[in-house]
Amino acid sequence: MIELEGLTKHYGDKVAVEDLTLTVRPGIVTGFLGPNGAGKSTTMRMMLDLDNPTAGTVRIDGKHYRQLQDPLTYIGALLEAKSVHGGRSAANHLLCLAQSNGIPRSRVFEVLDTVGLSAVAKKRAKGFSLGMSQRLGIAAALLGDPQVLLFDEPVNGLDPEGIHWIRNLMKNLAAQGRTVFVSSHLMSEMALTAEHLIVIGQGRLMADTSMREFIHQNSRSYVRMRSPEREKLLDLLHSEGIDAVAAGNGSLEVDGVPADRLGELAAAHQLVLHELSPQHASLEEAFMQLTADSVEYHAHDGEPVPAQAGSPPGGRSPGAPQPAGARPGEPQPTGWGADWQKKRS
Ligand code: ADP
Ligand code: MG
């Protein structure tokens, strides 16, 4: 278990992490979400005592990191895959870590096998691809067979097979009763991996909830309808006491009424439909919604462009960079661009 209390980190005037109080529990994968620059890596560094908090505390199973004897046997972490001495072989890199933490030599070969690097155990790390380096970093995290594991953006730059492997590894580690805390800015990935979510934006806690609850609270499900007889359809819906909102492309969006009922209603009145599609918000959309709100909250100090009322969170200025993990052409919340806009101004 990891417990943060009032954890805060300022770099001069810059607030990287602000007053985070939360508990990361064992037995499940907890996703740590936030756009780039939200403070995820800084939080993880403080968990590992690599950065001193400006205020607040971190406890690992009730203890401060520096009170842990042979810390790799309590908490393992992958922060930077490439932060390995390139001249050392994979096996030697792990052996150095093992010897300084009272871990037997045989464990090095066990974890190399777990991550699929046995065949390149004697190869120097500097020749490793990003995917191999990620695997070596995970081997290091697993070395002390710790109950608590941290992974900072572990799937960045991996191929689909690697992503699939890491996802299953994390779930298995959690199923063994371990505490697994994994950061990402990739919503779609988290939706498949994490059971619990902690979301931060600009260093502050924005959500600490189950995945299911997060989607439920921050998004909506609705039915999209399109008809060449749009006005008739609108009249029909109103006469049934059903609210419909006009959306793009001449379509209507209806909340709270199942698609089946809407289809039967249209059929009973012989109205032609060109579309009748239930829309469920994905985690990505839920997250964008949440981030857009946070931008409004911070509007006085960041000069972001507020989302227009009645439109989905969007308003990305032309030419603004597409955030990593976004699908092309998808509307983006202003929150993603806020850091960039600040740097630019
Ligand atoms: P994330 O991992 O969520 O992308 P980080 O924790 O890396 O975010 O960064 C949070 C904020 O703190 C960013 O605005 C970043 O520029 C700033 N920051 C991080 N490390 C330092 C540092 N050593 N000195 C100054 N600012 C930093
Ligand atoms: Mg980071």
Residue 47 makes CB contacts below 8 A (sequence gap 6+) with 2, 4, 58, 60, 65, 75, 77, 150, 181
Reported as a single tens digit per residue, the pLDDT across 8-20 is 999 999 999 999 9
Domain edge (last residue) among 197, 216, 235: 216
Q: How far is the CA of 52 from the centre of ligand 1 (A)?
A: 14
Please check whether residues 10 and 41 belong to one and the same domain. Answer: yes
84 lines ligand 1 (CB under 6 A): no
Based on the fold, state whether residues 204 and 229 are members of the same structural domain. no
Q: Is 53 in the pocket of ligand 1 (CB under 6 A)?
A: no
Distance between CA atoms of residues 290 and 218, nearest Å:
7
Instruction: Output the CA torsion 120→126→128→133 (10° steps).
Output: 100
| Domain shared by 253 and 181, yes or no | no
pTM metric for this prediction:
0.75
Ligand sitting nearest the alpha carbon of 336: 1
Mutate to test the pocket of ligand 1, among 9, 10, 32, 42 (most ligand atoms within 8 A of CB): 42
Return all residues near 39 (Cβ < 8 A) that are at least 6 apart: 9, 16, 17, 18, 200, 202, 203
**Contact 323 CB / ligand 1 (< 6 Å):** no
Checking if the pLDDT of 323 tops 80, the result is no
Structural domain boundaries, residue 262: 220-280
| Residue 101 and residue 175 in one domain | yes
For the chain, how many structural domains are there in total?
Answer: 2
Q: Out of 7, 11, 185, give the residue to mutate to test ligand 1, the one with the largest number of ligand atoms within 8 Å of its CB.
A: 11
Q: In CATH, what number is assigned to the domain containing residue 109?
A: 3.40.50.300
Q: What mean pLDDT do residues 112-131 have?
A: 91
Ligand 1 pocket member 156 (CB < 6 A): no
Mean pLDDT for the stretch of residues 131-135: 90
> Is the Cβ atom of 23 under 6 angstroms away from ligand 1?
no
Q: Do 30 and 24 form a contact (C-beta atoms < 8 A)?
A: yes
Q: Of all residues in the chain, what percent carry a pLDDT higher than 70?
A: 83
Quick one: pLDDT at residue 295? 47
Q: Name the domain boundary from 264, 280, 296.
A: 280
Do 146 and 113 fall within a single domain?
yes
Tell whether 241 and 259 lie within a shared domain.
Answer: yes
Same domain, 252 and 107: no
Closest ligand 1 atom to residue 152 Cα is 2
Looking at 256-333, list the stretches that DSSP marks H as alpha helix, in order from N- to C-terminal side. Answer: 259-268, 283-297, 299-302
- 198 and 225 together in one domain: no
* Per-residue model confidence as pLDDT tens digits over 19-39: 999 999 999 999 999 888 899
Residue with tokens 């608590």: 148
CB 271 within 8 A of CB 229: yes
Q: Is residue 151 part of a domain?
A: yes
138/176 same-domain check: yes
Residue 159 one-letter amino acid = D
Decide which of 216, 231, 251 is a domain's last residue.
216
Residues 146 and 117 in one domain: yes
Same domain, 229 and 208: no
Question: Are 197 and 64 members of one domain?
Answer: yes
Tell me which DSSP letter residue 123 carries: S
